[in-house]
Amino acid sequence: MFSKVQSDEQLIKAIKRGNRGAFAELYRRYYLLLFRVGFSILGNATLAEDTAEDFFVAVLSHPESLDETKPFKPYAFAGIRYGAINHLRSASSKESALMEEEVGAPASSSQSVSEDLMAFLKHHLTPEECSVYVLHVGYGYTFAEIGAMTDCSEDSASSRFGRAKNKLQVFSSEPTEKD
């Protein structure tokens, strides 16, 4: 395993030589950050995971595309943005085709419901509140874990969740979650 003191440049050189340990270290450093970028664009955790994983599969499959003379982080962000936009385009074209085929047909899949819920949350909450709410309620992450993922303190994550919960209670007669 590689230590944190190795630069991204050193890891990229090692990846190009076929060192899988270097790849694992680069993945460990950037996966959560790239997931968060994908999630902020897509609003869907599953698609964000797929986008981040697709990016790393491409890196592993084509290490020659990496340039150790340029910073990895902007390259990775561009790759995630590109992948997320492709997911959005693909979803948009599929949705248009479905609407043409089934005009007036009610949506019945759980994915449609979760997309509706995400649209509702994104409409009523700030991006930070939405992320904390989804990660805590939907995926069971603790506020400490959420803080680490979102580069904020545990208290900030808890406060964001509290604000989100209060906003959502205005729109619901039922409590959103018991603490």
Structural domains in the chain, sorted by start: 1-105 (1.10.1740.10), 107-172 (1.10.10.10)
Residue 106, pLDDT > 50, answer no
Q: Find tokens 């395993």 and name the residue.
A: 1
How high is the pLDDT of residue 123?
Answer: 76
Q: Say what the pLDDT of residue 13 is.
A: 95
Point out the least confidently predicted range of 3-17, 38-52, 95-109, 126-140: 95-109
Check if the beta carbon of residue 26 is closer than 8 Å to that of residue 15. yes
Q: How far apart are CA 42 and CA 85, in angstroms?
A: 8
Which string of b and e fits 73-89 if b means at least 16 CB within 10 Å? eebbbebbeebbeebee
Single pTM value for the model: 0.52
